[in-house]
Amino acid sequence: MRLPRSHSMTKRAEFLRVKQTGRAKAGRFVVVSTLEDASLGHLTTGFITTRRIGKAHDRNRVRRRLREVVRAHAPAFADLRRYLVTIARPGAAQADFAQLEADWLKQARRLGLISRSGEPQP
């Protein structure tokens, strides 16, 4: 499953709404924020990689890796009608894919998006 462009957050107001009213958990390499929204028909994702991550090619690589993590694990979410924002932290460019995935999964579990076994929580 590819993440369609229509499932991406593009407006600043969406990011601000998730930041102000959503829940967030911070890990070593990423900060994962989420906000449930019954009016959405699908998962809407956003990725933030600032210049503090590194040069453009490093930021692009981190974004590609994070998109793949979300793509691979989103079907395990209990409810896909939500906003999901992943913010890369400065160490993310030096982390390999497995480290990013493990950190992202840990934060998703802490937020209750995915259970310990990888199955969605009721």
What's the CA gap between 68 and 97, in Å, rounded? Answer: 9
Mean pLDDT of 90-114: 94
The confidence score (pLDDT) of residue 109 equals 93
Which domain covers residue 104, as residue numbers? 30-110
Sort strands 82-88 and 44-48 into parallel, antiparallel or unpaired.
Answer: parallel
**Mean confidence (pLDDT) of the chain:** 88
Check residues 92 and 10 and name the one with the higher pLDDT.
92
Domain count, the chain: 1
Considering the domain boundaries, does residue 115 fall inside one? no
Mean pLDDT of 52-75: 93
The CATH number for 105's domain is 3.30.230.10
Record the tokens describing residue 45, joined without a space.
């994702």
- 3-state SS of 73-118 is HHHHCCCCCEEEEEEECHHHHCCCHHHHHHHHHHHHHHCCCCCCCC
Considering the domain boundaries, does residue 121 fall inside one? no
